[in-house]
Chains A and B, each alone.
Chain A
Amino acid sequence: MVARGSVTFRGFVRADGSVGTRNHVLVVSILGLTNRIAERITQCVPGALLVTTPYGRGHYGVDKVIHRDQLVGLCLNPNVGGVLVIGADRKMVDDIATAAARGGRPVRSVALDDVHEDALEATARGVRAAGELVHASSRVRRTEQPASALFLGVECGHSDATSGIVANPVAGNCVDRIVDAGGTAVVGETVEWLGAEHIVSRRAVNAAVADAIVAAVLRREAEVSAGGHDLTGNNPGAENIRGGLSSIEEKSLGAIAKTGTKPIQGVLRVAEQPKRNGLFLMDGPSFSPESLSGFAASGAQIMLFTTGAGNSFCNSIAPTVKLSGRPDTVARLKDQIDFDASPVFEGREDIEAAGGRLFDLVLEIASGAATWGEVHGEGAEALYRANGSM
């Protein structure tokens, strides 16, 4: 067991006290109308990171809140050293830019309103602003920081029979180490808790959190059910049963093995920042790109991503550490999978030892070592919404 404060990594300290594992300048198009402008700006300024969304108007109900929360949350991510906000109307741009500026990092903005709807003039202004932000942000240096500043997002994609017994428990062991070091971790994908919510909720710190876990599952199940789908009727499916899964409890426990064993401090909304350190669940979408963006918008500055057969998707703001326990996957994708958990599968290493190796790799990547996804230019943000536009 590692004593709090004794484990460190090298990160970028921000004015709001958060610590980045990266130092990105974001060019954020806050609605679909201005995506191409933001893309042109980013092409002209190497080092700037593009964030777009196809949507942004005609939202109603919860989407109005979620859309804004995600955009602001991504701007406030500790890995962000500067933000250029691009949008159509000045009012909406100011709203996001003002909220983003609360992180204490430089924020600039361009609205089509400012340039009488001249998209090329907006591009020119944006290129200058993004260039200044990249120039300024490059002055920041990494310093030694406690691992308690780390906030780990944990995801799985293209899982198979090895995921639940190797990659997910190894990720869970790493989560335990992060929490023991005083850090924070989040696991999402509410529908994956289905069938084990009565078990997961027993790990809640109090009855209110336990109730929130069960309520989140029941609400998703009801929503999906209203859409004409049954999540429990044929679950586990025939392929799961062939793979050895005997019940929905077993299937869900395999998925949530990546939460480790620590108490669950709360259930976050998409893009909600945790109010204290420790392990959290996020009531969020099950599609990896959206789930990861939800974590990034809540402040996660490094991701663990377990896979069986392989899955190349990475978050763009937070380095995404890929791991698999399947020997042929690790051999086939040796320049894409960051962590080899297959010695556990092959009976040569126990989960504890592999979890220790993974924790060391997380600290190394948090300190600046590149993931394979970063080397190959993987990464995107995908904003979640519950409904369509009106």
Chain B
Amino acid sequence: MAGWNALAVDPRDNVAVLLRDVAAGDEVRIRIGAADERLVAAEAVPLGHKIARRQIENGAQIVKYGEVIASATTGISAGQHVHVHNVASNRAKVRQTNP
């Protein structure tokens, strides 16, 4: 592979964003600043979507741009697709409980 196919904007991020579609079993090479990290996609993840860099426990924070963007609603393994099926907005929750 010429370069990397995923990007983590901040080193604190526990997810990376795919720059190309990947299929289950594909190697994902993540650029984090000047460093590279490799993992294997556990399932198909489309371009622009997020993949877990490491194991994320149920209820744990999802971090992108170095900030919390949501919480996990189930356990997520490294290499799994991270999206609305397994995470939920914290802000939206606040809104629902305090309309």
- Asked if A247 meets B82 with Cβ closer than 8 Å, knowing A199-B68, A347-B5, A352-B33, the reply is no
Q: Mark B7-49, 1 if CB is under 8 A from A, else 0.
A: 1010000000111000000000101011000000000001111
On whether the beta carbons of A169 and B83 are closer than 8 Å, the reply is: no
Number of B residues near A (Cβ < 8 Å) is: 36
- Asked if A257 meets B34 with Cβ closer than 8 Å, knowing A232-B92, A241-B84, A250-B70, the reply is no
Among A195, A243, A347, which residue has its beta carbon within 8 angstroms of that of B3? A347
Q: Mark A341-360, 1 if CB is under 8 A from B, else 0.
A: 00011111011100000000
On whether the beta carbons of B69 and A246 are closer than 8 Å, the reply is: yes
On whether the beta carbons of B65 and A257 are closer than 8 Å, the reply is: yes
On whether the beta carbons of A248 and B47 are closer than 8 Å, the reply is: no
On whether the beta carbons of B48 and A243 are closer than 8 Å, the reply is: yes
Chain B residues contacting A196 (CB-CB under 8 Å) are: 67, 91
A253 near B: Cβ within 8 Å?
Answer: yes
On whether the beta carbons of B95 and A232 are closer than 8 Å, the reply is: yes
B53 near A: Cβ within 8 Å?
Answer: no
A320 near B: Cβ within 8 Å?
Answer: no
Among B5, B9, B48, which residue has its beta carbon within 8 angstroms of that of A257? B9
Docked complex: A199-249 residues within 8 A CB-CB of B: 199, 232, 241, 243-244, 246-249
Among A195, A241, A344, which residue has its beta carbon within 8 angstroms of that of B7? A344
6 contacts between A and B (CB under 8 A): A165-B7, A169-B9, A241-B83, A244-B18, A247-B69, A249-B69
Chain B positions near chain A (C-beta within 8 angstroms): 1-5, 7, 9, 17-19, 29, 31, 33-34, 46-50, 62, 64-65, 67-70, 82-84, 87-92, 95
**The 5 residue pairs across chains A and B that have the minimum distance between CB atoms:** A347-B3, A161-B48, A247-B89, A244-B49, A244-B48
